[in-house]
Amino acid sequence: MEPEDDLCQNNWGGSSSSSSSKRREQVCFTSQHKWEDASILDYEMGMEEEPAFQENSNNNNGGQVNVDFLQGVRAQAWDPRTMLSNLSFMEEKIHELQDLVHLMVARNGQLQGRQEQLVAQQQQLITTDLTSIIIQLISTAGSLLPSVKHHNMSTAPGPFTGSALFPYPREANNLASQTLNNNTCEFDLPKPIVVEEEHEMKDEDDVEEGENLLPGSYEILQLEKEEILAPHTHFCTICGKGFKRDANLRMHMRGHGDEYKTPAALAKPNKEAVPGSEPMLIKRYSCPFPGCKRNKDHKKFQPLKTILCVKNHYKRTHCDKSFTCSRCHTKKFSVIADLKTHEKHCGKNKWLCSCGTTFSRKDKLFGHIALFQGHTPAIPLEETKPSAQKGSSACENSNNNNTGMVGFNLGSATNAIEEVAQPGFMDGKIRFEDSFSPLSFDTCNFGGFHEFPRPMFDDSESSFQMLISSACGFSPRNGGESVSNTSL
C-alpha cells in the first residue's frame, strides 16, 4: 500500500503546492514508464474484469451515501459562513490547478522526450484535484436544499468532462489535447455516482430491462460456467496463486522482484484505446445456461450489462441456494450478498398473518387478509419492545460508522502536504462533528450500501476512490485499510 500512498501524496503535494511540485514531478516522472498505456488498458478492460466493475459499483454506493450523508448533516447545520469558506477553498483549489496546468504547458518544451509519462502523470494529478473539487462542490451544493440534490448530482460531473473549466489552449500541442482527452476519460469515474445510483438499489438482473440496444450494436460475450463460478479470476504467472482482484494480484507480484514494484506496474492497467480512435463497441454479456432468457440463443434475448450481473444472475437462477438465513432458517440464497441483505431485515417489522406468512409491509398483509377467508392478523405477544431495541442498536452502529466517516471525510487536509492523501474538505471537521446528531440519520440511506458486503475497495490510484473507501467506515480487507487508519 505504501506506493499507493506515495503516489497520492505526490499527486496532492504536486498539485496543491506549486513550489514543491517541481521536485515531486521530477521524482514521479523518472519512476514511471508505460503509464499511459496502462491506464488506457484499464479503461477498456474495466468491463471485463469483475473487480473493476465492483470498484465502480462500490464507488457509486459510497458516493451516494456520502452525498446523502453530507446532506443530512448539512441540512441541519447550514451556515453561510461555512458555505463561503467552502467556496473560497474551492476557488483556491482551482487556482492551484490552473497554476499547475500553466506549469505543465511551460514545461512542455523541455520534456519532449518523456512526453508519454509526463502526460500520464499530469493527467493523474489533474484527475485527483478535479475529483476532490467535484466532491466538494457536490457536498457544498447538497447543503443548500434537498431538492437541489438531484439537480446537482446529475449536472455536476457534466461540465468537468469537457474543458470548460480548464482553460487549455485549444491550439496547444498534442500534449495538451491528449491531457484533455484523458481527462474526458478519467472523469467518467465519478459519473456513475449519479447515473447509476438508482440502479444500484435494484436487482442487477433488472438493470438493463429498460435498455433498448439494437441487436448488433453491442458485442456479446459469454463466459463459461466454470469461469463464472470460479472464486479467483486472477492468477500469478509465476507461482500460480489465485486472486479475486487484479489489484491484489499486482500487490502480490511485488514479492516476485523489483521489476514489479515500479508505480507503472502497480498502477491499474489503463485504457488501451489510442485517443482519437473509433469509439468502443459496447459490451454485453450472455448467460451460458441454454434456454435462459439471458442466453444469446434465446429468441427474446436480453443481455446482461456487466460481468457482475452475469455472476449474480447465474448464481441466483441456475445454482443451488446454499446460504440459509441464520435467523429464520427458512429463506435460502445463492448469492451471499442477498443473504446478508435479508438477514438485515429478517425478523424486523414483520407483519404476520395467522397462516404463518410474513410480510415486510403492513398493506401487503392487509391485502393478503382481505383476499383469503379465515386469515387474521397475528398480534405478537409482546408488542414491539424487543425489535425497537434492536432497531436502535442497529441505528447506533450505523451512526458510529458514519461518525467515523464524517471525521475522515470532512476533516483533514487543511495542510495539503499532510500525510493524508485526501484532497479537499479543508474545513469542517470540527464543525460537522459538533453539529452531528444521530437523529438526523436515516438508516435507510445506508441500506443499499450494506448490500455489498464484499471488500469494497480495491486499491486504485484514484484518490476519489480512496476517499470513498475510507469514508465508508468499512474496514477494507485489502490495502485500503492502512489509509483509513492513518487518516483517522
Partner 1 sequence: MKKAKQIQHMISKPFDLLSEELVFIILDLVAQNPSDLKSFSLTCKWFYQVEARHRRSLKPLRAEYLPRILTRYRNTADLDLSFCPRVTDYALSVVGCLSGPTLRSVDLSRSFSFSAAGLLRLAVKCVSLVEIDLSNATEMRDAAAAVVAEAKSLERLKLGRCKKLTDMGIGCIAVGCRKLKRVSLKWCVGVGDLGVGLLAVKCKDIRSLDLSYLPITGKCLHDVLKLQHLEELLLQGCFGVDDDSLKSLTHHCNSLKNLDASSCQNLTQRGLTSLLSGAGCLERLDLAHSSSVISLDFASSLNKVSSALQSIRLDGCAVTCDGLKAIGTLCISLREVSLSKCVTVTDEGLSCLVMKLKDLRKLDITCCRKLTGVSITQVASSCPLLVSLKMESCSLVSRDAFWLIGHKCRLLEELDFTDNEIDDEGLKSISSCRSLSSLKLGICLNITDRGLSYIGMGCSNLRELDLYRSVGITDVGISSIAQGCCHLETINISYCKDITDKSLVSLSKCSMLQTFESRGCPHITCQGLAAIAVRCKRLSKLDLKKCPFINDSGLLTLAHFSQGLKQISVSETGVTDVGLVSLANIGCLQNIAAVNTRGLSPSGVAAALVGCGGLRKVKLHASLRSLLPSSLINHMEARGCSFLWKDYNNHNNSNTLQAELDPKYWKLQLEEDIEL
The contact set with partner 1 (CB under 8 A) reads: 362-363, 366, 369-370, 374-377, 379, 381, 383
Question: Of the two residues 164 and 370, which places its CB atom closer to partner 1 in the complex?
Answer: 370
Grid coordinates representing 442 are 436515516
- Smallest gap, in angstroms, from Cβ of residue 325 to partner 1? 25
d(CA 100, CA 24): 12
Q: From the CB of 362, what's the least distance to partner 1, in Å?
A: 6
Q: Three-state SS across 177-191?
A: HHHHHHHHHHCCCCH
Q: 454: which strand partners?
A: none
Least separation in angstroms between residue 388's CB and partner 1 is 15
Q: Minimum distance between the CB of residue 348 and partner 1, rounded to whole angstroms?
A: 16
Give the nearer residue to partner 1 in terms of CB position, either 355 or 430: 355
Among the listed residues 153, 64, 147, 136, the one whose alpha carbon sits nearest the alpha carbon of residue 428: 136
| Strands 282-286 and 218-222, sheet pairing | parallel
Please, which residue, 298 or 368, has the CB nearer to partner 1? 368
Of 198, 185, 224, which is closest to residue 60 (Cα–Cα)?
198
Q: Which is nearer to partner 1, 348 or 362 (CB)?
A: 362
Of 164 and 381, which CB lies nearer to partner 1 in the complex structure?
Answer: 381
Q: What is the largest CA-CA distance in the chain?
A: 87
| Other C-beta atoms lying within 10 Å of the C-beta of residue 486 | 13
Q: Which residues lie closer than 8 Å to 213 by C-beta, 6 or more apart?
A: 282, 284, 303
Closest CA to 244 of 198, 289, 182, 311: 311
Distance CA(222)–CA(204), nearest Å, equals 17
Contacts of 228 (CB under 8 A, 6+ apart): 288, 310, 311, 314
User: Closer to partner 1 at the Cβ: 69 or 351?
Assistant: 351
Nearest distance in Å: CB 447, partner 1: 24
Query: Whole-number minimum distance, CB 158 to partner 1, in Å?
Result: 37
The nearer residue to partner 1, 316 or 375, going by C-beta atoms, is 375
Pair 42, 124: CB distance under 8 Å: no
Name the residue nearer to partner 1 (CB basis): 214 or 379: 379
Residue type, 224: E
Q: Which is nearer to partner 1, 370 or 444 (CB)?
A: 370
* 377 SS3 class: strand
Judged by DSSP in three states, 9 sits in helix
272 burial level (CB within 10 Å; 0-12, 13-18, 19+): middle
- C-beta of 166 vs 359, nearer to partner 1: 359
Give the amino acid at 279: P
Query: Nearest approach, Cβ of 394 to partner 1 (angstroms)?
Result: 23
- The DSSP secondary-structure symbol of 170 reads T
Question: Minimum CB separation from partner 1 for residue 351, in Å?
Answer: 8
Instruction: Give which of 146, 105, 118, 95 is closest to 33, Cα–Cα.
Output: 118
Return the amino acid letter for 89.
F
**Cβ proximity to partner 1, 354 vs 437, nearer residue:** 354
Closest approach of partner 1 to the CB of residue 349, in Å: 13
Q: How far is the CB of 147 from partner 1 (least distance, A)?
A: 21
What stretch of H or E contains 323? strand 323-324
What's the closest the beta carbon of residue 12 comes to partner 1, in angstroms?
54
